[in-house]
Amino acid sequence: MYASLSDRISDSFKKLRGKGVLRDSDVDQTVGEIRRALIDADVALPVVREFAQRVREQAYGAARSKSLNPAQQVVKIVNQELVEILGGETRELTFAQRGPTVFMLAGLQGAGKTTFAGKLGKWLAEDGKRVLLVASDLQRPNAVTQLQIVGERAGVDVWAPEPGNGVGDPVEVARSGLSHAIRNGYDVVLVDTAGRLGVDEELMEQARQIRDAVNPHEIMFVLDAMIGQDAVHTATAFKDGVGFTGVVLTKLDGDARGGAALSVRGVTGAPILFASTGEGIKDIERFHADRMASRILDMGDMLTLIEQAEKAFDAKESEEMTGKLLSGQFTLDDFLTQMQQIRKLGSMKKMLGMLPGAGKIREQLENFDEREIDRIEAIVKSMTPAERANVKLLDGSRRERIARGSGTSVSDVKGLVTRFEAAQKMMKSVGNGGGIPGMGNIPGMPSGRGSKRAQAKAQKKAAKNRRAKSGNPAKQAALAKQKGNGTPGAAFGGGAAFGAPAGNSQVPNQNPQIDENDLPPLPDDVKRMLGQL
C-alpha cells in the first residue's frame, strides 16, 4: 500500500546522502519533497503541516551540528516523527479482571467488521482465550450467516438468536449474548454491530444503545484504509457520536495510497490497535507504529517476521533440521517439511516485503508467482520415498515419470534437483567450517576439511610476504617505523596479534604493559564520536 510513498521518501534521502555537509536549503528541499509525498498519499493536511514543521525544526539543528553524518540524522528524525504520528508506543488491550472482556466493533458498512471479528477471534483463541462472537448486525443482508461462517473458520462460537435481514432487536441480541457468555465461562465477547453506507443519526443511536447495554472494555472503530481523506471525517463523526478507544485498519494489503493510517491518530488521538493485511483468517497483526514507520522507510520489519516464524515453526523440529542441514544429511523429505512450515507464514510476497531494502526489488516481488511453491511441492510428492532420500537415483526415465505425475516438465524436475544438490553441498561446506563460497569462513564454526584450502592459501600468502621483506636492515627498520612498528601487536610489546610473541601463536599472552604515549594519536573524527572533543 505504501509503495509510492516509500519510494518517494527514499528518493529524497538519496539526495541527502550525496552531500558531505547539509545546509538549511537542503533540509527545506527534502522536507518539501516529503510533504508533497504525504499529501499525494491522502494524509490529512493538518497532520502533514505539523509533521513537516517538526521535522524541519529538528533537521535544521542536525544540519548546523558537527555530526559525523548529518544526512543520517535527518533520516532518524523523519523516522521518529513517523512513529509519533502513527501512535508512538504500542498500547496494550484492556481486559476485564473478572468475568468476560467485551470488545465492540463499530464502523461503516463494507469496512470489514464481520471479517475482522473472525480474525480477532482466531487471534485471541490462539492466545488461549475462549471467544464468543455476537451477531448484532441484523441490518445488512446475510450478515448473521457471514458471521457464522467466519466463526466456524476461526474455530470460535457464535451467538446468533435472530436471523437478521431486518428481523430482530440488535441491542437485545448484544445483551443476551453477554449473559450467555457470563453463564458459560467465555473469556472474551466480540460484538459485531451494523454499519451504514454513510454516517447518520440512526446508526449512531443504535451504536450508543449497544454500547450502553454491554459496557465494552474496548470500542474498536474499524476503518477501511483505502477510503483516503474521507477517513478523517468518518473517524471524527464516530468519535463525537459514539466514542471509541482504538482503531482497526483493514485492507492494508490493497494498492490505495493509505493516508488513513497516517491521519487517524493525529486527528482522533486514538491509537491504532490492529491491522488487517489480507483475506485469510490469520491475516491480522498488532499494529506497531515503529514497525510501520520502518516499512514506510524501506528498513524492513524483521520483528514481525520473527514473531510470525516463532508461531509457525516448531523449535525442536527446527533445531533437528538445522543439524541435518549442516551435516549434509538434508533430504527432499526434510525440504518438503520446511516448505510446508514456511507456507504457514502466509504469502511469500508479504514475507519478502518485510525484509530491509525490499523496495529495491519491488518489481521482482510483484512478479513473483506464488504458484511456484505448489509446483515444487507437486514435483517432490511425485517422487518415491527412496528418490527423495537420494536424488542420485533420478535418471532420465524417473524424471520423465515425475514430470508426468506432477504436471510439469522434465527440465523443471532437473532444475529443482540441481538447485537442491547445490544447496546441500553449500550447507555441508558451512557445517565443516568451510564457509559459503565467496564469503570466507563463518566465525564460531569449527574448522574442518572445508577450511584446509583457505588455510593453505593463507600460509602461502604469509610466506610470500616474508620473502618480500627487504634484506637491508636500515631499510627494514624504516619500513617498520612507517607501518607503525611492523608486525601486528607490536604496540603490545612486539609480537604477533593478540599479544602472543611472534612466530609462536601457542605461547599465552604475558600481559605486557602498554605505554599510552607510544600509541598513535586518534583522528579528530573518532575523538568526536568518543566525546573527547
Quickly count: other Cβ atoms within 10 Å of residue 259's Cβ. 27
| Nearest one of 136, 158, 162, 141 to 149, comparing CA atoms | 158
- The DSSP H or E segment spanning 231 is helix 230-241
Grid coordinates representing 528 are 568526536
Determine if residue 20 is labeled as part of a ligand binding site: no
- Give the list of residues 6+ apart from residue 241 with CB closer than 8 angstroms, or none: 199, 204, 207, 208
Q: What one-letter code names the amino acid at 473?
A: P
Determine if residue 408 is labeled as part of a ligand binding site: no
Determine if residue 80 is labeled as part of a ligand binding site: no
Determine if residue 353 is labeled as part of a ligand binding site: no
Cα gap 193→211, rounded to integer Å: 10
Determine if residue 28 is labeled as part of a ligand binding site: no
Cell 428481523 -> residue: 167
Determine if residue 169 is labeled as part of a ligand binding site: no
Determine if residue 280 is labeled as part of a ligand binding site: no
Q: What one-letter code names the amino acid at 219?
A: I
Determine if residue 42 is labeled as part of a ligand binding site: no
Determine if residue 166 is labeled as part of a ligand binding site: no
Grid coordinates representing 314 are 516448531
Integer angstrom CA distances of residue 264 from 42, 106, 247, 249, 294: 11, 15, 8, 10, 19
CA dihedral 178, 182, 185, 191 (to 10 degrees): 10
Determine if residue 109 is labeled as part of a ligand binding site: yes
Determine if residue 230 is labeled as part of a ligand binding site: no
Cα gap 531→528, rounded to integer Å: 5
Cα gap 19→17, rounded to integer Å: 5
DSSP 282-349: T-EEE--HHHHHHHHTT---HHHHHHHHHHHS-HHHHHHHHHHHHHT---HHHHHHHHHHHHTT--HH
Determine if residue 253 is labeled as part of a ligand binding site: yes
Grid coordinates representing 312 are 509457525
- The DSSP H or E segment spanning 192 is strand 188-193
| Nearest one of 408, 108, 391, 58 to 234, comparing CA atoms | 108
Grid coordinates representing 28 are 527545506
288 touches 304 (CB < 8 A): yes
Determine if residue 112 is labeled as part of a ligand binding site: yes
Determine if residue 101 is labeled as part of a ligand binding site: no
> What three-state secondary structure class fits 107?
coil
Determine if residue 40 is labeled as part of a ligand binding site: no
Grid coordinates representing 347 are 504469502
Determine if residue 114 is labeled as part of a ligand binding site: yes
Determine if residue 107 is labeled as part of a ligand binding site: yes
From the annotation, which residues make up the binding site?
107-114, 192-196, 250-253
Which amino acids are annotated as binding site for GTP, given as ranges? 107-114, 192-196, 250-253
